[in-house]
């Protein structure tokens, strides 16, 4: 899974392959955990349109990551 977390205005969005797979209001998210797939995973945190990190932090679990 390749995913990107970004913020636009008051919205947080997680996209994969250019498709939004999750979106929520920034005020509704205090912390965020993203679980990857059984394959190789990558997460890009895009700060170009604002800080997408929730105040309680971000965790990324790659699950089946192969080095």
CA-wise closest residue to 67 among 36, 34, 39, 33? 39
21, containing H or E segment: strand 19-25
Task: Give the tens place of pLDDT for each residue, 20-61.
Answer: 999 999 999 999 999 888 888 899 999 999 999 999 999 998
3-state class (DSSP) for residue 44: strand
Answer whether residue 66 shows pLDDT above 80. Answer: no
Task: Give the tens place of pLDDT for each residue, 6-22.
Answer: 998 899 999 999 999 99
| Distance from C-alpha of 39 to C-alpha of 26, rounded to nearest angstrom | 29
Tell me the C-alpha to C-alpha distance, in Å, between residue 40 and each of 20, 37, 58, 66.
Answer: 20, 7, 19, 6
């Amino acid at each position: 899974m390749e995913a990107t977390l970004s913020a636009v205005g008051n919205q947080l969005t997680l996209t994969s392959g250019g498709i939004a797979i999750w979106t929520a209001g920034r005020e509704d998210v205090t912390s965020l955990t993203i679980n990857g797939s059984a394959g190789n995973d990558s997460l890009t945190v895009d700060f170009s349109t604002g800080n997408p990190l929730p105040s309680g932090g971000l965790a990324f679990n790659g699950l089946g990551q192969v080095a």
